[in-house]
Structure 1
Amino acid sequence: MKKLLLLSIAFVFLLSSCGSKTKGELVGVQGKKWYPEKPYGMELIPRGAFIMGKSEEDMAQVLNAPTKTVTVRSFYMDDTEITNSEYRQFVQWVRDSIVRTKLAILADELGMGPEDGGIGEYAFKSADTTRMTTYQKYMLDNYSGMGETGYEGYALNTEEDLVWDTSDYPDEYYTEIMDSLYIPQEESYNGQRIIDVTQLKYKYTWMDIEAAARSRDSRRKEFLRTEELEVYPDTTVWIRDFEYSYNEPMHNDYFWHDAYSDYPVVGVSWTQAKAFCHWRTKFKNDDQKARGRQFVNQFRLPTEAEWEYAARGGIEGGTYPWGGPYVISDTGCFMANFKPQRGDYAADAALYTVEAKSYEPNDFNLYNMAGNVSEWTNSSYFPGSYEYASTMNPNADSGDNARKVIRGGSWKDVAYFLQVSTRDYEYKDSARSYVGFRTVQDYMGEEDSTQ
């Protein structure tokens, strides 16, 4: 009997060996073929080396950008600054998530489900999370930023459209939830119902890889960071940035009106820009998951070196994204939106910002890398960082430094700040009427130079 058992095992082993696709060779784990997909609205910036820093006289004598040769890896970059329309998509997603969460919680408390109609149509898809893994709970569409609710991990019903017309509210419970989203009636004017934007908060968790890599503590939880912040832009910057100046129309209309949809978003702090990057990554990967595809890597803010490399557009020693050294073309037109001629804001055909796809792009097909709005980078500002930063993908970043580098100059700046090598900064929790941002995404693999 024992011999028969051994013969059976040997026969099975022989069959499995004969049928093996690897033939016993080390061929590696066979996964799916990865095909890079250029993100919508982005351009591939090929890897390369360049001379970073002031390539001509430092007129301001700040001495914070000595020249050095650095190399950066390939990455995708938005061809324009993030627009009001794109940022509104983020804000509306947060708003809708909060509304759906509130509706589902009340429906659960009332014991109502889809069969009951009304608010029951927005009940949680499933209130049973006992069989879900921690990862499955994490991936559920429930990023409301409402703090602890007791319903973490419950699946929201995103298939039922939200009703915004008051005359179409399905029942009194739905009305109760929707009314809680708006400012009190006594605070409204002109007969308008205005959403209380302080309720629009986004909550997310990220891991501080830099700190974890340099620490001897192997417990991952020590390096997890949770952020919760309001996402609506600070529209008051149009008034607060300029004393004794009439800018109320920009405060009232710039962010939400369709007339400005394709203009760069402003009034967004560095921390809000980081939250947008996290949401954009999640939004894309939720779709990837639904399609059964591999996740993409994160969207993020560019490092200071990446920003300057992209702004130069492959032109060595150029003063501006178009080369330079002049800000006026051979046809007599200004090349960017800034403050020319001793303060004649309108001389370049714009008083404030212009549409994100204005003027000619640089040789990487990126628009407004000089002027329009200054742009947040991921790097912290240290005057002497060029002296000690690495020559490979340099990035002087510090969680203790609240000063973050902004680049490119803006509609209210003189030409000096438009130079690709000029450094400036703002504090990460500040918002300005002249600071926006664009995002990047690392290219995975070795890029094809013919792309």
Structure 2
Amino acid sequence: MKKLLLSSIAFVFLLTSCGSKTKGELVGVQGKKWYPEKPYGMELIPRGSFIMGKSEEDQAKVLNAPTKTVTVRSFYMDDTEITNSEYRQFVEWVKDSITRTRLAILADELGLGPEDGGIGDYAFKDADTTRASVYDKYMLDNYSGMGETGYEGRALNKDEDLIWDTSDYPDEYYAEVMDSLYIPEEESYNGQRSIDVTKLKYKYSWMDIEAAARAAKKGKGSRKDFIRTEELEIYPDTTVWIRDFEYSYNEPMHNDYFWHDAYSEYPVVGISWQQAKAFCNWRTKFKNDDQKSRGKQFVNQFRLPTEAEWEYAARGGIEGGTYPWGGPYVISDTGCFMANFKPQRGDYAADAALYTVEAKSYEPNDFNLYNMAGNVAEWTNSSYDPSAYDYVSTMNPNGGDQSNTRKVIRGGSWKDVAYFLQVSTRDYEYADSARSYIGFRTVQDYMGEEDSTQ
């Protein structure tokens, strides 16, 4: 019996070898050709080395940026700061998802489905298992009920449009869910009842790869020990326009800046470092959900730039430049200011802008990036340590200490003097803080250009 079994195995192996297309050669696993798309609204920053830090005199005497030659890999970077319009897309997506989830949960509790109409049209897609795939049924049978609510992982029905006009609500159950999303009636005024923005929370998970790698070296910990879960409110803090400036009338900015179409192309502000990180996670998910639907490979994650990446990109390939345009002056040959900042004591408007300007304003630097100096300061992924340049690596340096809540901001803003606009000037803010003069832009690691012949 044993000989018969071995003979059968040998025969199967022989057939497999004879039918192989590789002819016994080492050809590697045949995967798909990788032709990634250039991310929309981004510019390719080519790899290179540069002298990071203050090569000119450190006028502020902070001694936190000694010169150091470093090298960074290629990456894509947003050509402008993230705008109000772009961040509103994130907010609308979260609002849509929360609304659909609440509708689906109530429909599930009531035992209603599409055949019942009304709120049943928004029931979880897996409620009808007759059309579910084998995998969907398996996941529902084995993982349903896991998580805090018991509804995690269930597919929402996004085919049905949400109804926001109260006169068109399909039934009282739908009205009940929608009512729960708005501020209480007693808190509304002038007949306006708006969405309760404190309920717009985004929840996501990420893996602390650096901590996992250090633990693996010591033979400690398992994968689940390094998975972090975050949940936070994602609506910008519009009160920053008032809180940042005492005894100053900025109520119009508080009321209109984020949501009004007049400011759509202006940089979003009032965003904490944590919210900026959440936006990066959502942008990655949003893109990869589309990649998956089209049968394409996932793209690299969108993230905040490291401090070194930001400075390298801001310099635009100009060695030793003081500002992104290279020169040591903030006024051009024609007498125009080169960026949006505070040119003179008490005079914010000398540069033709009182607050922020549209994200695509002034001339871009040689990497085609706009407003790398002025307009709004920008969050980076790096934690702030005055002595960081003394110990960070010379290859893709990053001071990403998770326990350090002071995060580096770069570029200066509309309310700063010229010193903070210099490409080498370092500053910081706390990760949970939001300001009327801090925004962000994202980057993505480079993995090759799209083949234009395909």
What stretches of structure 1 of length at least 5 have no aligned partner? none
Aligned to 2:107: 107
Give the alignment partner of residue 429 of structure 1, picking from 420, 432, 441: 432
Note if contact 2:36-2:299 (Cα within 8 Å) is conserved in structure 1: no
Aligned to 1:299: 302
Aligned to 1:343: 346
Note if contact 2:411-2:425 (Cα within 8 Å) is conserved in structure 1: yes
Scaled by the length of structure 1, the TM-score of the pair is 0.93
TM-fit CA distance, 1:5: 9.6
TM-fit CA distance, 1:17: 3.3
Structure 1 window deviating more from structure 2 (302-311 vs 126-135): it is: 126-135
Aligned to 1:179: 179
Note if contact 1:212-1:220 (Cα within 8 Å) is conserved in structure 2: yes
TM-fit CA distance, 1:397: 1.4
TM-fit CA distance, 1:15: 5.1
Closer, same or farther: CA 251–4 of 1 in aligned 2, 3 Å = closer
| CA RMSD after TM alignment | 2.5
Q: Deviations over 1:209-231 (max 9, x none)?
A: 11111113240111111111000
Corresponding letter in the other structure for 2:208: D
Residue 126 of structure 2 aligns to a residue whose secondary structure is coil
Aligned to 1:209: 209
| Number of aligned residues | 441
Corresponding letter in the other structure for 1:361: P
Closer, same or farther: CA 11–76 of 1 in aligned 2, 3 Å = same
Closer, same or farther: CA 393–402 of 1 in aligned 2, 3 Å = same
Residue 350 of structure 2 aligns to a residue whose secondary structure is helix
TM-fit CA distance, 1:22: 1.2
Residue 370 of structure 1 aligns to a residue whose secondary structure is coil
Aligned to 2:37: 37
Q: Deviations over 1:278-311 (max 9, x none)?
A: 1111111111111111111110000000000000
Residue 441 of structure 1 aligns to a residue whose secondary structure is strand
Corresponding letter in the other structure for 1:395: N
Instruction: Please list, as runs of the form range in 1=range in 2, the aligned pairs for 1:182-197 lying within 5 A after superposition.
Output: 182-197=182-197
Aligned to 2:323: 320
Aligned to 1:148: 148
TM-fit CA distance, 1:153: 1.9
Corresponding letter in the other structure for 2:255: N
Give the alignment partner of residue 263 of structure 2, picking from 260, 268, 273: 260
Corresponding letter in the other structure for 2:41: G
Instruction: Please list, as runs of the form range in 1=range in 2, the aligned pairs for 1:226-305 lying within 5 A after superposition.
Output: 226-305=229-308
Closer, same or farther: CA 105–335 of 1 in aligned 2, 3 Å = same
Note if contact 1:409-1:418 (Cα within 8 Å) is conserved in structure 2: yes
Aligned to 1:198: 198
Corresponding letter in the other structure for 2:225: E
- CA distance in structure 2 between the partners assigned to 1:384 and 1:373 by the alignment: 25
Aligned to 1:444: 447
Corresponding letter in the other structure for 1:43: E
- CA distance in structure 2 between the partners assigned to 1:446 and 1:171 by the alignment: 51
Q: Deviations over 1:404-439 (max 9, x none)?
A: 000000000000000000000000000000000000
- CA distance in structure 2 between the partners assigned to 1:268 and 1:136 by the alignment: 37
- CA distance in structure 2 between the partners assigned to 1:393 and 1:160 by the alignment: 46
Note if contact 1:46-1:447 (Cα within 8 Å) is conserved in structure 2: no
Closer, same or farther: CA 119–5 of 1 in aligned 2, 3 Å = closer
Instruction: Please list, as runs of the form range in 1=range in 2, the aligned pairs for 1:45-124 lying within 5 A after superposition.
Output: 45-124=45-124
1:372 aligns with 2:375: yes
TM-fit CA distance, 1:68: 0.8
Note if contact 2:126-2:136 (Cα within 8 Å) is conserved in structure 1: no
Q: Percent identity?
A: 86
Structure 1 window deviating more from structure 2 (122-131 vs 213-222): it is: 122-131
Q: Deviations over 1:24-77 (max 9, x none)?
A: 111111100101311101011000000000021111011110111000000000
What stretches of structure 2 of length at least 5 have no aligned partner? none
Closer, same or farther: CA 28–349 of 1 in aligned 2, 3 Å = same
Residue 300 of structure 2 aligns to a residue whose secondary structure is coil
Closer, same or farther: CA 246–132 of 1 in aligned 2, 3 Å = same
Corresponding letter in the other structure for 1:345: Y
Structure 1 window deviating more from structure 2 (65-74 vs 21-30): it is: 21-30
Residue 181 of structure 2 aligns to a residue whose secondary structure is coil
Corresponding letter in the other structure for 1:383: P
- CA distance in structure 2 between the partners assigned to 1:97 and 1:55 by the alignment: 49
Closer, same or farther: CA 388–176 of 1 in aligned 2, 3 Å = same
TM-fit CA distance, 1:20: 2.0
Closer, same or farther: CA 331–118 of 1 in aligned 2, 3 Å = same
